[in-house]
Chains A and B, each alone.
Chain A
Amino acid sequence: AQSVTQPDIHITVSEGASLELRCNYSYGATPYLFWYVQSPGQGLQLLLKYFSGDTLVQGIKGFEAEFKRSQSSFNLRKPSVHWSDAAEYFCAVDPYSGGYQKVTFGTGTKLQVIP
């Protein structure tokens, strides 16, 4: 069965500092990979996704993620964090087999941004 691991439950960074959130997945083949963000009181918003091709994916709000097949990782990065980035971030995978989606999420990483 597929699984997603986000080893960091909680991360605190200073505003303006760089950020990297880790994600590792376990699946027989390369699944579709996603990062979602949930701000307080909001639904999950898609930050970026990887299907194939260039392993460095650009997303919204200045985020990017790099797919590394050899490490089964899909880490999320941002060069300079803003206070509004404080939220919970979820990595997710989808094998997209049979033409229907079935997304598996990680446990999430809560990001705190300090002035």
Chain B
Amino acid sequence: EAGVTQFPSHSVIEKGQTVTLRCDPISGHDNLYWYRRVMGKEIKFLLHFVKESKQDESGMPNNRFLAERTGGTYSTLKVQPAELEDSGVYFCASSSFGEGLNEQFFGPGTRLTVL
């Protein structure tokens, strides 16, 4: 069974440019999460989809970040325009939906560098 995949693995862009990160969850997982780790800091929750709906987007830093999950399958996270402080590693995770707390499976992350 394929795990969570993320694309690209690395992205280097200049301040003011736009970048779109993609996450493909494990097939059949209704829950999809985005997290971010800024250098040296903790991994922070950004948002949570249940199928195509945003369940919780309280961690999104500002309106330069837009996440979508059309059709409840893969998700994209767009940063527009990118700022220096957006640099970090963006993780995606997915989990199945059922009774009780289900394990989140994480992707390898996308390392974003904004110059």
The answer for the CA separation of A36 and B109 in the assembled complex, in Å, is: 14
CB distance from A35 to the nearest CB of B (A): 13
Interface residue SS majority, chain B: strand
A44:B106 contact, CB within 8 angstroms: yes
How large, as a class, is the contact surface on chain A?
20 to 34
Binding site for B on A (CB under 8 A): 4, 32, 36, 41-46, 49, 51, 90, 94, 96, 100-108
With A43-B107, A100-B48, A108-B42 known, 19 other A-B pairs at CB within 8 A are A4-B42, A32-B101, A41-B108, A44-B43, A44-B93, A49-B103, A51-B101, A96-B101, A100-B50, A101-B31, A101-B101, A101-B102, A102-B45, A104-B45, A105-B43, A105-B44, A106-B42, A107-B40, A107-B41
